[in-house]
Amino acid sequence: QIQLVQSGPELKKPGESLKISCKASGYTFTDYAMQWVKQAPGKGLQYMGWINTQTGKPTYADDFKERFVFSLETSASTAYLQINNLKNEDTATYFCATGYWGQGTLVTVSS
Amino acid sequence: DIVLTQSPVLAVSLGQRATMSCRASQSVSISSINLMHWYQQKPGQQPKLLIYRASNLASGIPARFSGSGSGTDFTLIIDPVQADDIAAYYCQQSRESPYTFGAGTKLELK
């Protein structure tokens, strides 16, 4: 069956960086684009952008153009979200999704 | 950006029909293809795709869920509502990047 399995929770300090992984199985990885979605605590879903899994070309929503990087390791059917120079407001659960959704990765940024 | 507007809360009795709306600030349809999708999210869980392209039931989703609409106005119906359906429901458009979400409708029991 189709599954997206994300890496575990992260606790980071402001200014640090992190990289979240999203490993896909049960389908051909390059058949579907991958989107990334942020959900702050108690809030709704915020679209971050998507990455073309055939070309590796990322597209970012305006709020996520500065410190966020989408990447792929196609041979491992894995997508990545890197967040640089973490800020308190990055505290959220981050999801990867193709239609099916990963379980989410909780990122907590606190000094 | 396309703004999607959903009512924040809908209160419904078990066994009754729940009708949720999602209004877009501009058309999300191309020819006859309506690029609106619906997700269900229960507390502490990831969202789940319910309906894609306005009216197509996703795999494994019960037939009591249905979707309709075109252009700027879309509807998700749950009939009849069961206890397991208490959740937040989000619409998302894929007509134009960024593929925005609505703020969600929280389905509550009356």
CB contact under 8 A, A47 and B103: no
CA distance A98 to B56: 16
- Which residues neighbour B68 within 8 Å (Cβ) at sequence distance 6 or greater? B54, B55, B74, B75, B77
Q: What is the mean pLDDT of chain A?
A: 97
Minimal CA separation from A41 to chain B, in Å:
11
Q: What does the pLDDT read at residue B103? A: 98
Q: How far is A46 from chain B (nearest CA, A)?
A: 7
Residue B89 binned pLDDT confidence (cut-offs 50, 70, 90):
very high
Q: How far is CA A104 from CA A38, B62, B110, in A?
A: 9, 24, 30
Contacts of A102 in chain B (CB under 8 A): 46
Q: Provide the residue type at A5 as one letter.
A: V
pLDDT score recorded for residue A40: 98
**Coil, helix or strand for A85?**
coil
What is the distance between the alpha carbons of residues B105 and B39, in angstroms, rounded to a whole number? 11
| Residue A99: pLDDT over 90 | no
Contact residues, chain A, for B39 at CB < 8 Å: 45
CB pairs A-B closer than 8 Å: 45
Question: What pLDDT is stored for residue A68 in this prediction?
Answer: 98
pLDDT recorded at residue A58: 97
* pLDDT tens figures, B13-71: 999 999 999 999 999 999 999 999 999 999 999 999 999 999 999 999 999 999 999 99
Pairing label, strands B105-109, B9-12:
parallel
User: Both tokens of residue B109?
Assistant: 């029991």
Among residues A51, A50, A41, A47, which one has the least CA distance to residue A106? Answer: A41
Cross-chain CB nearest to B46 (options A47, A49, A102): A102
- Interchain contact B38–A (C-beta under 8 A): no
- Residue B51 in contact with residue B64, Cβ under 8 Å? no
Question: Region A96-100: what's the mean pLDDT?
Answer: 94
Contact across the interface for B101 and A100, Cβ inside 8 Å: no
* Tokens describing residue A13: 């300090």
Question: Taking CB atoms and an 8 Å limit, are A46 and B104 in contact across chains?
Answer: no
Question: What is the SS3 assignment for A23-82?
Answer: EEECCCHHHCCEEEEEECCCCCCEEEEEECCCCCCEEECHHHCCCEEEEEEHHHCEEEEE
Tokens of B74: 């879309």
Chain B positions touching A62 (Cβ under 8 A) are 1, 98
Q: Cis link prior to B43 (omega < 30° from 0)?
A: no
Mean pLDDT of all residues in A81-109 = 97
Task: Please give the single-letter amino acid code of residue A11.
Answer: L
